[in-house]
């Protein structure tokens, strides 16, 4: 229909002409649409209003008849009816704001002889209040999805990788190999070891090199959550499942770990009432939310960890044997740090470098006597205690080197001073001499590594290697 065709008569005549082509009997159709419980507006191909029903007029606070002939954007500023007329593409379940209210609309082009004859606009459902409720619900769901997506994105990011497993011992090298073996097979893994030995580090490393690495890594600590809340944390709950529950319900960790890895720490503290429920999920890969009846499937890989002796707990009837056997498919035991003395210095250097980067500070050097003390201390808290000790030491350090007097007093509780003063081992004496020689050469050469290496009679690459082995900071300077 051309612009001139509209100019030939009044807006009402033009509207009747369009409606006649649409429905043959405009009066009958108008009567029907005015009794229609939804808001309706029809425009011609140029976006001019040819009909608005009474429910929609009441909602807009307008006289429907007075809108005929006006551009839809004059009636509703954000109208897209004219756009649909031009594109010929329907817009279904679109949300828009009219008079401060969120509504859901359909815009449907009507074709005749291959051309858009009109556009039919529909505000959905029996009454405007229902539309508002639906729009609010959609807005709530969109927000909820956005929150879950944000959480899942953060869950996918594992902090630790295989490169985070630091140490020079044969035990540590073997543990790295086992990490790769565990990652290659989608089996349940049980990581055992004392507190502070880095069980989550190994769990994240397994996830990071597995086929599930791009999916979520979800953590839950069985000892950190009250027994009466642990089930809802694992399985989630429906709205109104119990007093204090969120009105929207909550997704559980098992559901969140779908296609990824669930890391269940301190599984030895799992309440006996929860053990058969976890066993069922592991065997059938399905569960029900607390307060729900719908069965939900979740494809996840479980990595469990504990500092307890589960085998002894099974013997004492404190842990289900069938669950233990289901967990202990691939066992990864991490020996305590005191049994891996070769790992203490590399880990200390790693922690100091990490802290220096975090605090934007220079990496401190370790005095030879300090190294001896660190190696001799039994570290009952393992790597975690080592890291926290160095954190505290570095926070109060006033110079570039950590000396014995900078260390916390508990490191001397085992009467280690005699070991230090007598230079008990040849290795300690050699390290001591090498550090002092390198420090002297660097000072004389103005921190020029090439010149210092020449003064020491060694190649520059050997100097770098020695400095790294002795945890000496490689300051920026002349190469």
pLDDT of 423: 44
Per-residue tokens: 286: 């399905």
Q: In the chain, how long is the greatest CA-to-CA distance?
A: 113
pTM of the entire structure? 0.58
CA nearest neighbour of 404 among 373, 428, 358: 373
Per-residue pLDDT of 437-453, as tens digits, reads: 888 888 888 888 888 88
Q: How far apart, in whole angstroms, are the C-alpha atoms of residue 62 and residue 462?
A: 87
pLDDT of 157: 57
Q: How many C-beta atoms surround the C-beta of residue 66 within 10 A? A: 12
pLDDT beneath 70, residues of the chain: 1-9, 19-24, 125-135, 143-144, 146-158, 240-248, 413-430, 473-479
Inter-residue contact 287 to 281 (CB < 8 Å): yes
pLDDT of 134: 65
User: What residues does CATH 3.30.450.20 cover in the chain?
Assistant: 3-131
Q: How far apart, in whole angstroms, are the C-alpha atoms of residue 316 and residue 121?
A: 71
- Tokens 């592991």 label which residue? 282
Three-state SS for 16-45 is HHHHHHHHCCHHHHHHHHHCCCCEEEEECC
pLDDT of 5: 43
Can you tell me whether residue 117 is helix, strand or coil? strand
Q: What residues have CB less than 8 Å from 236, skipping those under 6 apart?
A: 249, 250, 251, 252, 253, 254, 255, 289, 290
Per-residue tokens: 324: 């233990």
pLDDT of 293: 83
Q: What residues have CB less than 8 Å from 355, skipping those under 6 apart?
A: 361, 390, 391, 394
- Cα 398 to its chain centre, rounded Å, is 38
Can you tell me whether residue 400 is helix, strand or coil? coil
Backbone torsion region of residue 125, taken as left when φ is above 0, otherwise alpha when ψ lies between -120 and 50, otherwise beta: left
Asked whether the CA dihedral 332, 333, 338, 339 is positive or negative, the reply is negative
User: What residues does CATH 3.40.50.300 cover in the chain?
Assistant: 157-335
Long-range contact pairs involving 316-324 (C-beta distance under 8 Å, separation at least 24): 318/272, 319/268, 319/272, 319/275, 320/272, 320/275, 320/276, 320/279, 322/279, 323/275, 323/276, 323/278, 323/279, 323/282
- Tokens 């954190």 label which residue? 391
Can you tell me whether residue 439 is helix, strand or coil? helix
Q: What letter does residue 328 receive in the DSSP assignment? A: T
CATH architecture of residue range(s) 339-469? Orthogonal Bundle (1.10)
Can you tell me whether residue 261 is helix, strand or coil? strand
Q: How far apart, in whole angstroms, are the C-alpha atoms of residue 290 and residue 287?
A: 10
Q: How far apart, in whole angstroms, are the C-alpha atoms of residue 192 and residue 215?
A: 24
pLDDT of 6: 46
Per-residue tokens: 178: 């086992």
DSSP labels, 292-321:
---EEE---EEEEEESS-HHHHHHTTSS-H
User: What residues does CATH 1.10.8.60 cover in the chain?
Assistant: 339-469
CATH architecture of residue range(s) 157-335? 3-Layer(aba) Sandwich (3.40)
CATH architecture of residue range(s) 3-131? 2-Layer Sandwich (3.30)
pLDDT of 248: 67
pLDDT of 243: 62
């Amino acid at each position: 229909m051309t612009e001139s065709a509209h100019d030939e008569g009044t807006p009402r005549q033009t509207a009747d002409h369009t409606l006649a082509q649409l429905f043959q009997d405009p009066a009958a159709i108008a009567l029907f649409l005015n009794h229609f419980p939804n808001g309706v507006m029809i425009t011609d191909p140029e976006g001019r209003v040819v009909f608005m029903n009474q429910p929609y007029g009441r909602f807009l606070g307008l006289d429907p008849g007075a809108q005929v002939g006006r551009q839809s954007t004059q009636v509703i500023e954000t109208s897209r009816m004219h756009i649909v007329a031009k594109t010929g593409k329907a817009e279904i379940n679109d949300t828009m704001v009219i008079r401060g209210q969120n509504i859901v609309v359909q815009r449907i082009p009507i074709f005749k002889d291959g051309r858009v004859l009109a556009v039919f606009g529909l505000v959905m459902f029996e009454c405007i209040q229902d539309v508002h409720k639906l729009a609010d619900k959609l807005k709530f769901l969109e927000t909820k999805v956005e929150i879950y997506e944000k959480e899942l994105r953060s869950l996918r990011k594992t902090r630790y990788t295989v490169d985070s497993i630091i140490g020079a011992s044969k035990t540590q090298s073997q543990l790295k190999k086992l990490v790769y073996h565990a990652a290659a097979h989608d089996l349940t893994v049980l990581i055992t070891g004392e507190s502070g030995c880095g069980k989550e580090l190994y769990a994240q490393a397994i996830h990071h090199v597995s086929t599930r690495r791009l999916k979520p890594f979800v953590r839950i600590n069985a000892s950190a959550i009250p027994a009466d809340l642990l089930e809802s944390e694992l399985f989630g709950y429906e709205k109104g499942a119990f007093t204090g529950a969120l009105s929207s319900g909550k997704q559980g960790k098992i559901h969140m770990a779908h296609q990824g890895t669930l890391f269940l720490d301190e599984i030895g503290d799992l309440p006996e009432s929860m053990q058969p429920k976890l066993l069922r999920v592991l065997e059938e890969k399905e569960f029900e939310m607390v307060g729900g009846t719908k069965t939900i499937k979740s494809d996840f890989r479980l990595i469990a960890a504990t500092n307890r002796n589960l085998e002894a707990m099974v013997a004492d009837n404190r842990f289900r044997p069938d669950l233990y056997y289901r967990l202990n498919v691939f066992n990864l035991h991490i020996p305590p740090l005191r049994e891996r003395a070769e790992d203490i210095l590399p880990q200390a250097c790693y922690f100091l470098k990490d802290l220096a980067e975090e605090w934007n500070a220079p990496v401190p050097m370790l005095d030879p006597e300090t190294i001896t003390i660190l190696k001799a201390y039994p570290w009952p808290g393992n790597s975690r205690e080592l890291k926290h000790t160095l954190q505290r030491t570095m926070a109060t350090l006033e110079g570039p080197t950590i000396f014995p007097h900078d260390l916390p007093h508990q490191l001397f509780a085992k009467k280690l001073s005699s070991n230090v003063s007598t230079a008990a081992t040849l290795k300690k004496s050699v390290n001591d001499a090498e550090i002092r020689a390198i420090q002297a050469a660097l000072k004389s050469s103005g921190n020029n590594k090439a010149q210092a290496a020449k003064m020491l009679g060694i190649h520059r690459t050997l100097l770098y290697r020695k400095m790294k082995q002795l945890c000496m900071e490689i300051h920026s300077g002349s190469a």
